Chain A
Amino acid sequence: MDVLGFQPMWYVPTIGSATVIAIIATIHVMASHTSVGASILLAYLATKAYRENIPQIYDYIKRYLLALLVFSYVSGSITGPGIWFSATVANPRGISALIHNFVWVWAAEWIWFVAEVTLVYILYYTLGRIDQKSWLRLAWTFAIGSWATMYIIVGILSFMLSPGHEKWFTTGNILDAFYNKNYFPHLLMRSSFMFAIAGTIGIVIASLMKKDVPENVYKSIVKTMSYWGIGGLVFGTMFFGWYVSTLPERSLIMLAGIVPKWYYALIFGILLVLLAHFVLTSIKPTVARPYIAYPIYALIFFMGVYPEEKIRETIRKPYVAGEFVWVNQIIARDVPAKGIKSEVDTIKEKGFLKVNPFVPEGLKTITPENKIMAGKAIAILQCSGCHNVTGASGLRPFAKKFEGMTSEDAVYGFLSNYLTPQAHPAYMPYFVGKDEELRALSAYIADMVSKGGRVSAKIEVPTSSIQAHK
């Protein structure tokens, strides 16, 4: 058996596995940015309470900590591994490439995770139980420790997009890969926006306990949240501009031409809503209302973070990690420093279905009987990372892309001209496999379109093919 290291494929019809990752990642970004931003805001407020002797601020801090525990530290701590789990099953070789490069870096991040989670409980339980100075020290170590988790993950996220510098491929130096040229703008952009996210939830909590604290304290808290929020938005937007200027060429092409324009409209819209809200609450803190601030917080999820996650995913294509693992799990280029070899030539020579150990034997050799099913297997294995390959709705659906193309020859003619190393679009890998495999894929697509554009995702290996194999 001559095989390459492919894993069993997971196919999610219609929405695609990428959307599963995006949903989990969005929840995580909301939760983690809220908690990291809040950790710094709360340490700042605690210092203010200590210096200016305003003990009522501690009541607010305690309430905020509880909100963090219930929301951020449940949702955030579960969806953190959740991103990892979903990426494992959606892009096993992509996440594997990241883990094998950055295992120690992730382990270092884990040290801060543990610090963060234990400290949030300790802060909550010891507030008012230990002297203020000691509590303040714990609050600041919590703030810096929480932020440190962002320091680390941003480097890995940058590498996902690109190793940044060509020399990494030959030196393999982990620092060259980690401190990408967009590392700092990325870190500063996220660090800024997180204050806007944490500030919004801070206003929700303040307005909920308006009656429990003296008016001047209440105003001071709301103003603090608003000012930090405004600062976060202004600096975040500036750093976003810087971040864009450090993106690789292909990502810029995709930002300009492929990313849907309405994503930008949503993001721009939520930035304006947030700015207007913060300006209003900073001028007149008494107008802060939970039923206004909370929906705004929820809107950040749909209008801010979700489109941002989708954009980040799109501009990374056709790769999922380090500009050498394609979204279809094929290793697309050599990484001499790590002894990694491109799989393209092997697949071209031996056939895509042959080298995947998880393809049934009865589909490895294409015959007239199994051609459609072999084509479906190829579609699921090679295309479903970005396409719904069995329907006409959802993620870039095949039935829409190939609308009206009911002849195998027509589909083949199109694909064989379009998905070549020379002509393929910047965001899509070219087809890798034998010519008969491209024909099988074409036959499947034509068959699906002629059946009305929607077929079962099930793969049935014809009995004759199983017998032939035996």
Chain B
Amino acid sequence: MSMVAYQNLTRWLLLGVLALMLLGGRLAFAGQSLADVSAMLKAMADPAGAPFFPVVMQILQVLTWALHIVFVWTSIGGLFYAIYGFTRKDPNHQRLAKAMLELSKVSVSLAIVLGVAPLLFYQVIYDPLWYASANLSASWYIMFIVSLLIGYYLIWGAYFTRMKPQIATLFSIGGVIFLLLVGFIIHVVNYQALYPEKWVEWYTSGGTTMNHTGWGIYAFNIFRYLAFLVFPAISVIGVFMMLYAWYFGKRPEFERDYVNFSAKLGAKLALMGGAGWIVFHVLYIFSVPADWNAKGSIFAWLSVLGLLLCAGVIFIAQKNPIGMAIPSLVAGTVATLLIAVFREYLRVASTVRFGYSIYEYKVNLEWLSPMLFLGTTLTGLILYAYAWWMAYKAGRTPKGEVYQASETEHHLGEVSVFIVILWAIVFVGTGLIIIARNYI
């Protein structure tokens, strides 16, 4: 098959996925009384309450979501580019496609593991939203896991066949379709969650049945989907290409020409994707129901401002993409955090309509388990610092050479091993004391 045919195939497949998503997202409008919804939401909050101040959970949720979504974007963006790059004859495109595929593969792992935390904090303070919406589309929810598994293995398929670009392209197309499907499912679940007044109507089809098969998809917003998933993926992979050039450019086997090519292409993609990102983000803000006051909210416009700031930095970066790689990363981080805050604003806005406020959530305060988390986090941070630093050093070492750690790095390594063992001793020791106290 010719390259043009591949390109066309890719385009049609992507269009097909989007068309399916549009068709699948039928919207239903009906409602219960405000008092009913309010009573239902309050009853659905877990009677155990939150074991700590909800605002702390909320902040952690925002921070960890931002971290998670960056790797979602690089997974999908990396595949988008790999599909394009593999179809080009230019060796620079071929080489960069392989690198971005590799980034995509690692990103999926990180996106999965990092995604656990925001969901954890989210469901402690917004449990009615999380459980009800997930259960409305329960079978899809299980398909999320299945699709992610298939998608991830297709990406590994692309990785193993990367020396045969035609096959790798097909695997990558399969991979990105499944990842977009996974994104679609989680988007639907998160979006449905924002409309508690429609849950009963949706589930009972207006009082005529119980949709317990879990195959219903009740709400979809194309602007939100494009603004939160598709366009950022293109923009962020562009910034990662700039970072890639900045980081690996120091290694002798990375030729100047290739490094500059990657950085320039990255800056261009970041700008193009960013333009779509801003447009659909604003369109999404305008599509939010009027009584949520999104258009008048400072958080909505701060998120737009964050994106504009990012666009400005990336615009400047067109001239010197390697030098501007780090500033672009910083601007992108600010924009992502502001979007995470805006997302959170939407949850608050959608629930205060029914008198549900996480700040009034029942709290069963206890200190022991947050202390465990804090201690583990400190242990983890020391370990991460050491591991990432060594990885950073190894990545910058020319091929065929072995990086010799300095005295300081060896000391940090010893501290890291020590603190991890100490954590285990404290954890097991505490257990022994508790068991002795309770059972002996």
Counting CB contacts under 8 A, is B65 at the interface?
no
* CB < 8 Å neighbour of B410 from A5, A85, A133, A360: A133
Given contacts A8-B199, A110-B116, A181-B438, contact A88 B373 (CB under 8 A): no
* CB < 8 Å neighbour of A117 from B60, B113, B212, B372: B113
Q: Which chain A residues lie closer than 8 Å to B286 at the CB level?
A: none
B369–A117 CB distance below 8 A: no
B208–A461 CB distance below 8 A: yes
Can you name the residue of chain B whose Cβ is closest to the Cβ of A322? B48
B132–A8 CB distance below 8 A: yes
Q: Which chain A residues lie closer than 8 Å to B421 at the CB level?
A: 144
Counting CB contacts under 8 A, is B1 at the interface?
no
In this complex, how many residues of chain A approach chain B with their Cβ under 8 Å: the count is 106
A111–B377 CB distance below 8 A: yes
Given contacts A111-B379, A129-B403, A360-B208, contact A97 B46 (CB under 8 A): yes
A102–B213 CB distance below 8 A: no
Q: Which chain A residues lie closer than 8 Å to B431 at the CB level?
A: 178-179, 183-184
B145–A79 CB distance below 8 A: yes
Bound-state Cα–Cα, A75 to B148, Å:
10
Minimum distance in angstroms from B130 CB to a CB of chain A: 8
B364–A134 CB distance below 8 A: no
Counting CB contacts under 8 A, is A450 at the interface?
no
Bound-state Cα–Cα, A107 to B109, Å:
18
Given contacts A96-B46, A126-B391, A130-B390, contact A145 B383 (CB under 8 A): yes
B404–A338 CB distance below 8 A: no
Can you name the residue of chain B whose Cβ is closest to the Cβ of A147? B424
Q: Which of A89-114 contact B (CB under 8 A)?
A: 89, 92-93, 96-97, 99-108, 110-114
Counting CB contacts under 8 A, is B51 at the interface?
yes
Q: Which of A147-170 contact B (CB under 8 A)?
A: 147-148, 151, 164-165, 167
B49–A100 CB distance below 8 A: yes
Minimum distance in angstroms from B174 CB to a CB of chain A: 15
B132–A7 CB distance below 8 A: yes
B207–A360 CB distance below 8 A: yes
B208–A130 CB distance below 8 A: no
Minimum distance in angstroms from A451 CB to a CB of chain B: 19
B131–A7 CB distance below 8 A: yes
Q: Which chain B residues lie closer than 8 Å to A11 at the CB level?
A: 212-213
Name the residue in A4, A11, A99, A457 with the highest tally of chain B Cβ atoms < 10 Å from its Cβ.
A99
Q: Which chain B residues lie closer than 8 Å to A131 at the CB level?
A: 402-405
The number of chain B residues touching the other chain, given as a range, is 35 or more
Interface 9-mer from B5-13, B32-40, B241-249, B329-337? B32-40
Bound-state Cα–Cα, A20 to B149, Å:
15
Counting CB contacts under 8 A, is A254 at the interface?
no
* CB < 8 Å neighbour of B113 from A92, A96, A114, A357: A114
A104–B370 CB distance below 8 A: yes
Can you name the residue of chain B whose Cβ is closest to the Cβ of A74? B152
Can you name the residue of chain A whose Cβ is closest to the Cβ of B413? A137
Q: Could you tell me the dominant secondary structure of chain A's interface residues?
A: helix
Counting CB contacts under 8 A, is B366 at the interface?
yes
Q: Which chain B residues lie closer than 8 Å to A179 at the CB level?
A: 430-431, 434-435, 438
A175–B434 CB distance below 8 A: yes
Minimum distance in angstroms from B138 CB to a CB of chain A: 4
Counting CB contacts under 8 A, is B387 at the interface?
yes
Q: Which chain B residues lie closer than 8 Å to A110 at the CB level?
A: 113, 116-117, 120
Minimum distance in angstroms from B189 CB to a CB of chain A: 10
Given contacts A8-B136, A99-B120, contact A3 B40 (CB under 8 A): yes
Given A125-B394, A134-B390, A362-B207, 5 more pairs with CB closer than 8 A: A86-B142, A97-B48, A100-B49, A111-B376, A181-B435
Contact surface of B with A, Cβ cutoff 8 Å: 35-36, 39-40, 43-52, 57, 60, 106, 109-110, 112-117, 119-121, 123-124, 127-128, 130-132, 134-136, 138-139, 141-142, 144-145, 148-149, 152-153, 156, 199-200, 203-204, 207-214, 362, 364, 366, 368-370, 372-373, 375-377, 379-380, 383-384, 386-388, 390-391, 393-395, 397, 401-405, 409-410, 413-414, 416-417, 420-421, 423-424, 427-428, 430-432, 434-435, 438-439
Minimum-distance CB pairs A-B, first 8? A10-B138, A104-B369, A89-B138, A111-B380, A108-B376, A100-B48, A82-B145, A179-B434
Subset of 15 A-B contacts with CB under 8 Å: A10-B139, A74-B109, A75-B149, A92-B135, A96-B127, A104-B372, A104-B373, A117-B109, A121-B106, A134-B409, A137-B413, A141-B387, A179-B434, A340-B47, A358-B200
